[in-house]
Amino acid sequence: MLQVNVIRDHKDKVIKSLIKRNWSSEKTKILDKIIELDDQRKAVQTDNDNQLNIVNTSSKKIGSLMRDGKKEEAETLKAEVSSLKDSIKKAEDNLRNLKTEITDLLLQVPNIAHDSVPSGNTEQDNIVVKEGSIPVPNLDKNNTFPHWDLATKYNLIDFELGVKITGAGFPLFRGKGAKLERALINFFLDEADAAGYEEIIPPLIVNEDSARGTGQLPDKEGQMYYITEDDFYLIPTAEVPITNILRDVIVKEDNFPIKFTGHTPCFRREAGSYGSDVKGLNRVHQFDKVEIVQIQHPDRSYQALDEMVSHVESLLVKLELPYRILRLCGGDIGFTSSLTFDFEVYSAAQNKWLEVSSVSNFETFQCNRLKLRYKNEDGKTVLAHSLNGSALALARIVAAILENNQTKDGIKIPKVLIPYTKFDIIN
């Protein structure tokens, strides 16, 4: 959530960002409404503070008048104080309403896009900033199968049983498929541990405050599974519970960087597409993911973003997967993000790129909602910066490994995973 003073002091910059995100000029007038309401809030607050000061002064004077035997004057002043208290009560109600109205409008305004975010309307306008050196595998086109056929052939994933038990988009992993999934999770966690991230096993269900704190609410409410009776949400990513560890916390400046990692299942309602885009593991409602989260000093958050991008890239290199890195355009970048890099791996059998990670810097946007702050060297309380990234999302990684490593003898396991799987081929 943007701070009102940022909108007030840098209005042109915010408007420029909103237009980059494809907002209309008419829609950007929400900023004027926020400033107008904040002006009203300030005026009411000032008037209320003055009345409170009068009440405090008068209350002391009443005591003095009573001690001096000036009861009639004291009673007159009591009546004035009583009237002021009624006025103060109305002002406080007005202040609460104004603050709620301002917050409701602020929740509709996305983060300021970084200057390097390119203009564009859709994912087709994202910019490829790097392609990995690992070549796309040259497979026999007449003897190459998509991962859903391979999963059936080698009894790795049962999509029909998933439908029977739950519904479409809930795959059931079994045998060597389950072992491959677990191997990837352990590999990703070990790599995060080596990079200095503290491992967290968080709750898989969060309350409304947590979901709002990281920006899932109200922006992505339709994508989340909601538990009506308890007013809880299943997590769409470990980012939500892990970042909320520090909600309403003032950290010490010398604690930076604060680095967390965690593996969780992730739950998302919206499949978002049809046909081959949702077939197999391409887009599911439940999938495993290892997340990395950093809370950083504002001066070092973009250096941290570069480090996180390099960390994710190293995982794909070690898995020997063809990959590319994209800088997301204004029309595709997330509501809460200032700058996002997406990673895609190549699916040899489907002949297309699959997104497997997003790494983002949110600057102060999440921390303002979370009230996640630190005290600087001057003793001033300042908002921290938050970042996170998928390191990595499992479903499509599994799909790419199965498709890219298929041979006539079976599916070869990447060398880095063999110590985890305890087998080097699926046949």
User: What confidence category does residue 395 fall into, taking pLDDT thresholds of 50, 70 and 90?
Assistant: very high
Percent of the chain with pLDDT over 70: 95
pLDDT value for 275: 57
Q: pLDDT tens, 8-35?
A: 999 999 999 999 999 999 999 999 999 9
Per-residue pLDDT tens digits for 224-240 = 999 999 999 999 999 99
pLDDT, residue 258, reads 98
Please tell me the CATH code under which domain 123-426 is placed: 3.30.930.10
Write down the pTM of the prediction: 0.92
CATH number of 4-106: 1.10.287.40
Q: Can you count the helices (H) and strands (E) in the chain?
A: 13, 19
Residue 162, Cβ neighbours under 10 Å: how many? 19
Q: Residue 145 is which amino acid?
A: F
Q: Please give the residue that has the higher pLDDT: either 271 or 278.
A: 278
Which residues, in sequence order, are bridge partners of residue 341?
Answer: 327, 359
Please provide residue 170's backbone torsions phi and psi, each rounded to the nearest 5 degrees.
-125, 80
Mean of the pLDDT values across residues 82-106?
89
Average pLDDT over residues 303-324: 98
What is the per-residue pLDDT across 114-137, written as a single tens digit (0 to 9) for each?
999 999 999 999 999 999 999 999
The residues spanned by each domain of the chain are: 4-106, 123-426
Give the C-alpha separation, 375 to 52, whole Å. 30
Mean pLDDT on 166-182: 97
Does 276 score more than 80 pLDDT?
Answer: no
